[in-house]
Amino acid sequence: MSSSDHPTDFKGSITEAAREAIERAIPGAKAQVEGGGGHYRVTVISSAFEGKSTLQKHRMVLNALAPMMSGDMAPVHAVDSIDARTA
């Protein structure tokens, strides 16, 4: 099975739902989510990242996406890259 064949029962735009989840979870965040087939690239800009390590920033983003990454039919199979910055 190729990455573009990732099965999911999710209805609607996965990239839009992921963007909204991140922006809800991280104060003041502006997010961009690209990709498909279960694999996504995420860019997030937020002052909430100020003073945080790269690992802490990535955990914040992944925690926001956790509900979309759980279960056998999860719409997000992998986040291939995260760019989390303050500006």
Q: Percent of the chain having pLDDT more than 90?
A: 76
Q: Which amino acid is at 39?
A: H
Q: How confident is the model at residue 11 (pLDDT cuts 50, 70, 90)?
A: confident
CA neighbor of 14 nearest in space, from 60, 77, 59, 85: 77
CA neighbor of 60 nearest in space, from 35, 37, 17, 31: 31
The position carrying tokens 């860019």 is 43
- What pLDDT is attached to residue 81? 97
User: For residues 84 and 49, what is the distance between their CA atoms, to the nearest angstrom?
Assistant: 7
3-85, CATH topology level:
GMP Synthetase; Chain A, domain 3 (3.30.300)
User: For residues 55 and 57, what is the distance between their CA atoms, to the nearest angstrom?
Assistant: 5
For the stretch 52-83, pLDDT in tens is: 999 999 999 999 999 999 988 889 989 999 99
What is the domain partition of the chain in residue ranges? 3-85
